[in-house]
Structure 1
């Protein structure tokens, strides 16, 4: 279903969590919202890079 979210446990270093809490607060997000934002941004960039690499690959020679 669209919009349904799945919960899971995340193990994280205390120092990393503290940094995320500060960053989330600066951007008016919850820590969960900040993590989700960062993951979605990373996935979007990865998809773009993959597409760019595929677009820049040379075309295979045509059979004649």
Structure 2
């Protein structure tokens, strides 16, 4: 079996008290994140605050729909009188 490429994300099993998970899930919902994304956000922030976030760490990937492009201006010959 070959090792996964470095761009793959590490999967971990996490056991949480149900009340802690519910609070985390509510917080994540308030910030329009999944519970998993909220956990990663909080871990990264804690690592950065402690000066332990590795320098080569990539930023969290932005998920979701890309922003809308502004409408194209009408061609010059089609302008109303």
Q: Fold conserved (TM > 0.5)?
A: yes
Paired position in structure 1 for 2:12: 8
Paired position in structure 2 for 1:46: 50
- What CA deviation, in whole Å up to 9, does each residue of 1:1-57 have, x standing for no partner? 2x4211011000000000000000000000000000000000000008xxxxxxxxx
Mapped pair 1:24 → 2:28: yes
How many correspondences in the alignment?
Answer: 47
Q: CA RMSD in A?
A: 1.3
Task: Give unpaired runs (5+ residues) of structure 1.
Answer: 49-64
TM-score by length of 2: 0.55
Task: Give unpaired runs (5+ residues) of structure 2.
Answer: 1-5, 53-81
